[in-house]
């Protein structure tokens, strides 16, 4: 059904009727994402009402902390990046690309052709900016055989024993956040900052050398945090990554900015044990690896 046809059909239904239908499709977060691309009416309802209400229901503590104290469900105030970004942050694993793992594995050059081609194709046909663009690995019976999947559906399997999920996908664990985990991630001088991190260990990706526990999170009042002052005052260089949760292309490496706990250190091959990246809206994506039992 085209956008014009959908608008014509559903123009006879009130917003309340359409919303009642949408609210029955809460078992899979991708349903709303796909419906938001059907027509302008659907996009507006899902972006302004559905995702906002779902965030208030599923992560009320995070929402109440991110918004001003006088905000309510009916308030027009939105968190940094919008309600679509916050909802995506709650249910979506950033993937190995946005967590910087592929950069350390030296595969970014091999993936450039696939990723750039997929991005160009996406720009040509995708006019729905608020779509979550998440893929599900539930149909994959072999966790050690992940296919590289870009955000617009292109896939490629490299000549390796283990193929990896390139882009963001539906997170596998419970969708909740913890401030305690965020405090453990930051260096001691940043403990006054408020960082919410998803329930540990996040989404686990099995690779040839080690397991990567991908996490995501969000800073409260990021532009007023000490982490932001450290990045901004130190004129830290931006990375080549873009945010997995919002349209921001301004992303910084928290590891190179010395914002992470120094005790994490590096593996014997030079790969950091913990990496994390933050965008201008305070959205965090990263990966944690266990220390090897033997070398």
Mean model confidence pLDDT for the chain: 75
Cα–chain-centroid distance for residue 93?
A: 5
Residue range 99-107: mean pLDDT, rounded: 71
Q: What is the pLDDT of residues 203-231, one digit of tens each?
A: 888 887 788 999 999 999 999 999 999 99
For residues 67 and 223, give the distance between their C-alpha atoms in angstroms, rounded to a whole number.
14
**Range 70-81 burial, b when 16+ CB lie within 10 A, else e:** ebeeeeeebbbb
Q: What is the pLDDT of residues 48-64, one digit of tens each?
A: 888 898 899 888 888 98
Please give the pLDDT value at position 80: 87
Please give the pLDDT value at position 86: 92
More confident call, 245 vs 7: 245
Q: How confident is the model at residue 201 (pLDDT cuts 50, 70, 90)?
A: confident
Does the pLDDT of residue 16 top 60, yes or no?
A: yes
Look up the pTM and report it. Answer: 0.75
More confident call, 9 vs 168: 168
* Contact by Cβ (8 Å): 41, 7: yes
DSSP-derived letter for residue 92 is E
Q: What is the pLDDT of residues 239-261, one digit of tens each?
A: 988 999 999 999 999 999 999 98
Residue with tokens 């809460």: 26
Does the pLDDT of residue 182 top 50, yes or no?
A: yes
Q: What is the pLDDT of residues 113-156, one digit of tens each?
A: 333 433 333 333 333 444 455 544 443 333 333 333 333 333 33
Q: Could you tell me the two tokens for 168?
A: 């963001």
Cα–chain-centroid distance for residue 281?
A: 12
Does the pLDDT of residue 195 top 90, yes or no?
A: yes
């Amino acid at each position: 059904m085209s956008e014009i046809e959908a608008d014509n059909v559903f123009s006879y239904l009130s917003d309340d009727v359409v919303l009642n239908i949408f609210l029955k499709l809460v078992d899979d977060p991708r349903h709303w994402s796909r419906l938001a691309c059907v027509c302008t009416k659907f996009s507006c309802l899902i972006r302004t009402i559905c995702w906002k209400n779902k965030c208030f229901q599923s992560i009320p503590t995070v929402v109440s902390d991110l918004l001003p104290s006088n905000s309510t469900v009916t308030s027009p105030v939105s968190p940094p990046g919008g309600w679509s970004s916050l909802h995506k942050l709650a249910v979506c694993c950033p993937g190995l690309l946005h967590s910087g793992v592929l950069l350390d594995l030296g595969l970014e050059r091999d993936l450039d052709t696939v990723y750039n081609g997929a991005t160009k194709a996406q720009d040509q046909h995708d006019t729905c900016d608020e779509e979550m663009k998440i893929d599900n690995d539930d149909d994959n019976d072999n966790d050690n055989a992940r296919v590289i999947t870009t955000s617009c559906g292109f896939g490629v399997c490299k000549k390796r024993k283990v193929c990896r999920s390139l882009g963001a996908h539906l997170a596998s664990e419970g969708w909740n956040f913890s401030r305690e985990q965020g405090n453990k991630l930051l260096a001691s001088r940043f403990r006054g900052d408020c960082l919410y991190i998803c329930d540990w260990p996040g989404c686990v990706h099995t690779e040839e050398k080690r397991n990567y526990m991908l996490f995501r999170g969000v800073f409260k009042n990021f532009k007023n945090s000490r982490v932001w002052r450290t990045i901004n005052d130190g004129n830290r260089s931006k990375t080549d990554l873009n945010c997995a949760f919002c349209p921001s292309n301004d992303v910084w490496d928290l590891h190179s900015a010395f914002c992470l706990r120094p005790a994490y250190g590096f593996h014997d091959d030079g790969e950091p044990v913990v990496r994390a990246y933050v965008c201008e809206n305070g959205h965090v994506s990263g990966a944690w690896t266990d220390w090897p039992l033997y070398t």
